[in-house]
Structure 1
Amino acid sequence: MLTNVYFVRHAHSTYTPDELNRPLSEIGKAYAEKITQILKKENIDYFISSPYKRAVQTVGGAAHFFSKEVIIENGFKERKLSESPVENFDIAITKVWAEPTFSWEGGESNIIAQKRGVETTLKILEKYEGNNIAIGTHGNLMVLIMNYFDEKYGFNFWRELDMPDIYKLTFDGTTLKEVNRIWKREET
């Protein structure tokens, strides 16, 4: 029995230091509406999201269309890079991808973040087998999960993601069968 997981990387957000409650920007809200239009065509059975507001807002419109609740799942929250803001994000993120067991002070290594995301994904695949599931999440965690199932999804793939972005992963049980990008953000 095939299960389709639609990983939805959240749309653009307005920066605040409050990671949990950072909302979508006006541009992000416009793109969230486009995400809704795409997901309307996919017959989504369940909506699951990171607890972060920007992820919930990105899939919330489609959930509303289907009269579904957005189930909050902490396992899909973004990886914590470090306890405090890093001086140079590009250097910091490059290092954790180059050294999967390395973590910045108070942050998660790729191995730890991937383990959390994969365990949550496997739980979802078992619980909702045979359904279409949209998951509002974050780029880094999404790619770490995809990387577990197919190593070709790595740092360079992550760097090419759009915000938002949607990838449909088709599973037979817990075996990844196919990955398709179902929408690409057009430039405005």
Structure 2
Amino acid sequence: MTELYFVRHAHADYSEDEFRRPLSLKGIKGVERVTSLFNDQRIDAVYSSPYKRAIQTVQGIAKYHDVPIQTVDALKERQLANGAMENFREALQRVWQEPSFAWTGGESNQQAMTRAVQSLQSIILSHPHDNIVIGTHGNIMVLMMQSFDTQYDYAFWQKLTMPDVYRLSFHELTLLEVERVWQDY
């Protein structure tokens, strides 16, 4: 069995530079709690989106367990559109309602899911019987989860926190169980 932990990044300061956007002070405090969740567990590998906020969120876990962070470009957040959208929530809701629809310069849900799931499956198959942490983002995380179980959708995405942590148990590529392990305080 492979135990995969999706760690959605902690709160980040807004910036149009998605790649270098750092965690906020609030986010840095959240990272301490995220790291402590994994102190009593065996962690065999840590992967992350290449975005700074995702890497920062899992750095403490990697350091504590003395494993490198392996960045995977395909795990980056979905590109919604070129530039900022006037009404982000409405724009996002549309791509969830119409999985093949994409805004100009953006990815559809189908495109983003295909990109990320191919890498996710490779990671899972490379780590049978391992405990893996993946530093990720809300949209792409839910799309990856949805590829295994359609109950993970826009409404589920809306309930996520920053940070958030979900454990997914796999036998090969079969999803057996999902559990939220993050507790808001």
Q: Shorter chain as normaliser: what TM range?
A: over 0.9
The one-letter amino acid of 1:24's match is: L
1:141-186 CA distance string (max 9 Å, x none): 0000000100011110000011100000000000000001111222
The one-letter amino acid of 1:106's match is: G
CA contact (8 A) 1:162 1:184 kept: no
TM-score (norm 2): 0.98
TM-score (norm 1): 0.97
The one-letter amino acid of 2:138's match is: G
Query: Counterpart of 2:88?
Result: 89
**SS of corresponding position for 1:149:** coil
CA contact (8 A) 2:16 2:83 kept: no
The one-letter amino acid of 2:152's match is: Y
Query: Counterpart of 1:139?
Result: 138
2:38 and 2:180 map into 1 onto residues whose CA distance is: 13
Is 2:78 the counterpart of 1:102?
no
Root mean square deviation, CA, Å: 0.7
Query: Counterpart of 2:178?
Result: 179
The 5-angstrom pairing of residues 127-166 of structure 1 reads: 127-166=126-165
Query: Counterpart of 2:119?
Result: 120
> How far did 1:104 drift?
0.3
The one-letter amino acid of 1:157's match is: F
**SS of corresponding position for 2:70:** strand
1:47 and 1:117 map into 2 onto residues whose CA distance is: 16
1:176 and 1:67 map into 2 onto residues whose CA distance is: 28
> How far did 1:17 drift?
1.3
1:2-46 CA distance string (max 9 Å, x none): 001100000000111111010100110000110000022221110
For these two proteins, the number of residue pairs brought into alignment is 185
2:134 and 2:183 map into 1 onto residues whose CA distance is: 17
Query: Counterpart of 2:166?
Result: 167
Question: Unaligned 5+ residue runs, structure 2?
Answer: none
The one-letter amino acid of 1:22's match is: R
CA contact (8 A) 1:163 1:185 kept: no
CA contact (8 A) 1:43 1:132 kept: yes
The one-letter amino acid of 2:83's match is: S
> How far did 1:123 drift?
0.4
**SS of corresponding position for 2:67:** coil
Query: Counterpart of 2:56?
Result: 57
Query: Counterpart of 2:2?
Result: 3
> How far did 1:100 drift?
0.3
Question: Unaligned 5+ residue runs, structure 1?
Answer: none
**SS of corresponding position for 1:7:** strand
**SS of corresponding position for 1:134:** strand
Query: Counterpart of 1:27?
Result: 26
State the percentage of identical aligned residues: 46
Deviating above 4 A after TM superposition, structure 1's stretches of 4 or more consecutive aligned residues are none
